[in-house]
Chains A and B, each alone.
Chain A
């Protein structure tokens, strides 16, 4: 019965296809675009406000500027860019973020390779224990580590942040890379080993290049996390060494020193978000492949 019905249905679809394709999908497009508008409005509101003079921001909503674009000004941006400390802070953020992204990726890759392609007693239990550390809230660790850093005179140094962010990022990094590396074809590693490749060669020549999508996904996450982090930087850099302060601390200080200078904060927020946005948009094509890896195939 279905064999007979199917062609008839296709025929009917074709006949009415033009009408249905044009209007039948209208509700779908309507809902999709409505969702996009809802998601964008908050950001657009702040974006427009970041170009408005402070008096206007306090007197009327951002939407009024749409009808009077002549009011818009770059003064908030020039104020923030001219204010002391923004550019050095930008460089500091790079100095903090790049090693704090690179170190955990390498350290996690070593561990993920061992968990995937070496056999040793207690392998699965140890892996589960590592992933289980995801439960530890960062705030739990601050006081003991502050005291430890104090002993080694690390407070206020970039090195303190590199080490701390590596420790905090590792459980997720190992979990992600282990899932991806573990799903690579076993034969590749077996034949490499038969050809006389040792583990270092297999790791550098096979495992790392094949894991690039997962590494890119991880790099995005870790980069965004460290670049946007305020709390960890406040605790370990704190007031100890203001010349090492990253962008987030300088922006936060800008807010408190300006009292309720929200309009400057709007400009500062967009400036601090610019680099992560570029990083995300340029790496996002790896993102889906990397984060899901082989785990969703089934």
Chain B
């Protein structure tokens, strides 16, 4: 039999059958236990597949990476915290750290800010769902394809020849010399351009979620304020914005984590050259280009620790929400 056909049958029939079969089997397994013990055992049977996957693919490798971060390049000897000392004493990685901080601040401000602005503006026009689809579309495009799209935007030809890049065509049409945009590291301009590309991708995500929260706000409340003579700005500042705050917190968390993990766009568009290095890309280079698993692992652990406070804030918010459930 054609192996492709076998695979297709496994994919379409086998996989769902195994999954539903598992949950049906749990009750059979529970019959082996005394009646009284069943409610205590049941939740763990339901959680078992998830916990097994999480352990094998996230927890175990993280522990492994932590151990490697304490070892030398070949992984043959423990060298204490030397890899971490290297990370915080090396100009290259410190520059990556600085750029990642720029990513966190700027990407969060731009994607969440624009998402909020667009959600509010689009709420007032009749072609809202069409407009929202257009803003959301970049999220369906792979990072590689998005990078190609923007490499065309930033393309550079020497002055005097016709410009093929959209941005350079625009600046030359008003008499400014064409610029090799992605190599301009003054004031971190090229890093900012990479952040703008990522903003183009993620604003749609922010917009969709903020817009849903916006529609959840009681319209009569806003109308009452307007009738009482409040200006649109006062309505926004006094009513809409405070009610949106919890949603903005969730969205910001997602974007901060995205910014810290930013990899694909940098990898494809500049590969960290011209002072655009970020933490995730320097980790990839240490591990897979320079074969230094110890250093790469140390960077991974630093990256993870940087995300922990963001998650901690979010978890505290979750617990407060659970308390009122």
Contacts and interface: CB of A to CB of B under 8 A. Distances in A.
Interface of A: 2, 6, 9, 25, 28-29, 31-32, 35-36, 39-43, 45-46, 49, 57-63, 91, 94-95, 98-99, 102-104, 106-108, 110-111, 113-115, 118-120, 123-124, 126, 128, 130-145, 148, 158, 162-164, 166-168, 170-171, 174, 182, 198-200, 203-204, 224, 227-231, 248, 251-252, 262, 265-266, 269-270, 272-273, 276-277, 280-281, 284, 287-289, 291-292, 295-298
- Determine the main DSSP class of A at the interface with B: helix
Given A57-B164, A61-B164, A135-B308, A49 B23 contact: no
A285 to B, nearest CB: 9
B176 interface: no
Interface in B209-260: 209, 211-213, 216, 227-229, 246-247, 257
30 contacts: A6-B227, A9-B227, A32-B122, A41-B153, A42-B153, A43-B149, A45-B152, A60-B164, A107-B50, A110-B22, A110-B46, A114-B42, A118-B39, A119-B43, A123-B43, A135-B304, A136-B62, A137-B303, A140-B304, A141-B57, A141-B62, A145-B57, A170-B53, A200-B24, A227-B142, A262-B151, A265-B148, A291-B209, A291-B212, A296-B246
A158 to B, nearest CB: 7
A139 B144 contact: no
Nearest to B283: A139
B142 A139 contact: no
Interface in B152-176: 152-153, 162-166, 169
A289 B303 CA distance: 33
Contacts of B125: 28-29, 32
Contact of A58 (B23, B164, B257, B264): B164
B111 interface: no
B104 interface: no
A272 B319 CA distance: 41
In the A-B complex, the 8 residue pairs with the smallest Cβ-Cβ separation, listed nearest first, are A167-B57, A228-B142, A144-B64, A141-B61, A269-B145, A111-B50, A144-B61, A114-B46
Nearest to B124: A28
B40 to A, nearest CB: 7
B16 interface: yes
B106 interface: no
Nearest to B306: A135
Interface of B, helix, strand, loop or mixed by DSSP: helix
Contacts of B166: 41-42, 45, 61-63
A139 B304 contact: no
Interface in B73-129: 118, 121-122, 124-125
B65 interface: yes
A226 B59 CA distance: 21
A242 to B, nearest CB: 15
Interface in B273-299: 280, 283-284, 287, 293, 296-297
Given A133-B58, A135-B311, A296-B247, A39 B208 contact: no
B187 to A, nearest CB: 22
B4 to A, nearest CB: 7
Contacts of A126: 47
B121 A31 contact: yes
Given A133-B59, A248-B142, A262-B148, A39 B134 contact: yes
A141 B58 contact: yes
A46 B162 contact: no
Contact of B264 (A113, A115, A231): A231
Nearest to B260: A137
B68 A143 contact: yes
> Which of A45, A115, A168 counts the most B-chain CB atoms under 10 A from its CB?
A45
A31 B114 CA distance: 12
B49 interface: yes
Contact of A103 (B4, B15, B47, B164): B15
A136 B283 CA distance: 13
A297 B209 CA distance: 12
A216 to B, nearest CB: 14
Interface in B1-59: 4, 7-8, 11-12, 15-16, 19-20, 22-24, 26-27, 39-40, 42-44, 46-47, 49-51, 53-54, 56-59
Given A167-B58, A295-B321, 7 more contacts: A95-B7, A99-B15, A145-B61, A166-B53, A174-B50, A228-B141, A296-B246
